[in-house]
Amino acid sequence: MTSVSFTRRSFVTGTASALALASVPKLAFGVTTPPTVRLEWQAFKSTPSFQSYYNAVRMMKANTNAGSPSSWQYWANVHRNYCPHSVAYFLAWHRGYIYYFEQQLRKVSGDTSLVLPYWDYYTYPVIPSEFTDTARGNPLYNSRVNTNVYQALDLSPFNDSNFQRGLSQAFEPALENAPHDPVHDVIGGYMADINTAALDPLFYLHHCNLDRLWNAWSLRTTSRVPAATNSYWTGNFTYASGLTMARSSTRTTTGLSYDYANDTTPKTLPPQAQQGRIVRVQAQLGATLVRPAPVTLPTTPGRAVSSTRKSLGGVKGLTLGVNSLTAVIPVQAANATALQDVLTTSPAIGLSDSPAAGQAQPHAAAPNGNSFQYVKLVLDGLSIAALAASGGFFFEVYLNLPPSGEVEAAKGRHFVGTLGAFEISVAAMHGMSMITYDVTDLLARQGAGNSGQVSVSFLRKSGANSPKGNAISANEMRVELGADAP
């Protein structure tokens, strides 16, 4: 799971005034209305509401007043300035966001029955043709790097049973890792940068589908979402000054009076289609994953990084290009002992979600006297080549991959997260050139604490169009112990 620091950011100059916000439809609490049903794009485009949607997007894009909720830029600013990524409430905040956006589409179009459609890329991996039609004046079109997101699809999140971050088998961070981030990466263009992603009309269909997948997952008897009475749902989400939503309203779609035409999670990957024809059929189940060849990199020693963080060792000068690779981080014996202490007793090891899980304290102590509790894989001093910043590719990151094995097993025991233009843009937006992955639970389940090394594999995933040459570099990649929460 990637982690970046998040603080609420103020709107940039020109965002909505309180008067403008008064025009945004608000929740009508206590009012019972039949739930609306959001449709998949292929069904939606055959309904009368398609023209309402099309006209609403066109009118909102034509509105150049970024302070008006009836403008396209307004909602792009809401996302850029308030969206939580790689932290708790990623899914819940976006649920409220697209709800308010849907209400604005109705207001602008005058169609009170208009629903925001979703794009089910697990069935239709190619971008709907209405979004790639270059006809003059098509408000749904903008330039993108790829039209096929097959490489971004992943079934492993639907094996998870817990919802929130900090527990083993947590659905929310898994779904954000894939398909959320890689869909942004592979499509590219506006979608590859968090600052511009919501300018692409496809962004809203993408997040509507993620919301649908969360809803479908939560309806399973094996899925555990914090109870309605849990303090997890206390408080409010902010979308703009004067525009908020109670977190409790976002726990289920019922709280916002809507549902989806399809309430099931995907079981298989679709055929890989390109330009309307099937070029290859690849099932994730049973597929084989081979560990990339190792590269030799200069090592960095273990050291105190801060009062709450200690490096166990690393490598420097990591460069990722068109090929997959594996980098090996040596861990000295004394540091391996400290690592094992954390992996034995950390509260971050969510092998159980019972209150007693992880109550013991680790033996290793941080320089400030606090106990180390977390293990993190850190990519520090990240940069991305200019051509690669437009997306079209991403890397899957794995820890301690065996030489070869089945993809699903590898995802369950070794998958760390993804790395691409979108993920780097999220870090940069927070003023950081660092991405951190919490790997405490993963290493504990591997039993890797006694090892004298940690291997990190980067598997390149490219769309039909992707940049060549060196794409991403990091000054240092290291394994850290942390006394601060991930």
Of 280, 298, 322, the position where a domain reaches its end is: 280
Of 253, 280, 307, the position where a domain reaches its end is: 280
CA–CA distance from 429 to each of 40, 80, 422 (Å)?
Answer: 32, 9, 11
Give per-10-residue mean pLDDT for the chain (486 aa).
39 41 54 80 97 98 98 98 95 98 98 97 98 95 97 95 90 97 98 98 98 98 97 98 96 96 96 56 64 96 94 97 97 90 74 35 51 93 98 97 88 94 95 94 81 93 96 98 78
Whether residues 178 and 292 share a domain: the answer is: no
Whether residues 147 and 262 share a domain: the answer is: yes
Query: φ and ψ at 95, to 5 degrees?
Result: -60, -45
Q: What is the CATH number of the domain that holds 77?
A: 1.10.1280.10
Handedness of CA 417, 423, 426, 427 (dihedral sign): positive
Task: Say what the pLDDT of residue 44 is.
Answer: 98
Domain span at 70: 2-280
Report which of 236, 246, 191 is spatially closest to residue 79, judged by C-alpha positions: 191
- CB-CB neighbours of 128 under 10 Å: 20
Question: Would you say 169 and 223 are in contact if contact means Cβ atoms under 8 Å apart?
Answer: no
Number of domains in the chain: 2
Rounded to a whole number, what is the distance in angstroms from the first to the last CA of the chain? 9
Whether residues 130 and 210 share a domain: the answer is: yes
Whether residues 347 and 426 share a domain: the answer is: yes
Whether residues 329 and 188 share a domain: the answer is: no
Query: φ and ψ at 474, to 5 degrees?
Result: -135, 135
Whether residues 417 and 340 share a domain: the answer is: yes
Quote the Cα angle for 251-252-257, to 5°.
Answer: 125
**What string of H, E and C letters represents the secondary structure of 282-305?**
CCCCCCEEECCCEECCCEECCEEE
Of 254, 280, 306, the position where a domain reaches its end is: 280
Whether residues 159 and 245 share a domain: the answer is: yes
Whether residues 92 and 196 share a domain: the answer is: yes
Whether residues 274 and 300 share a domain: the answer is: no
Whether residues 274 and 293 share a domain: the answer is: no
Whether residues 267 and 410 share a domain: the answer is: no
Whether residues 138 and 191 share a domain: the answer is: yes
Q: Tell me the helix, strand and coil percentages in the chain, rounded to 5.
A: 30, 25, 45
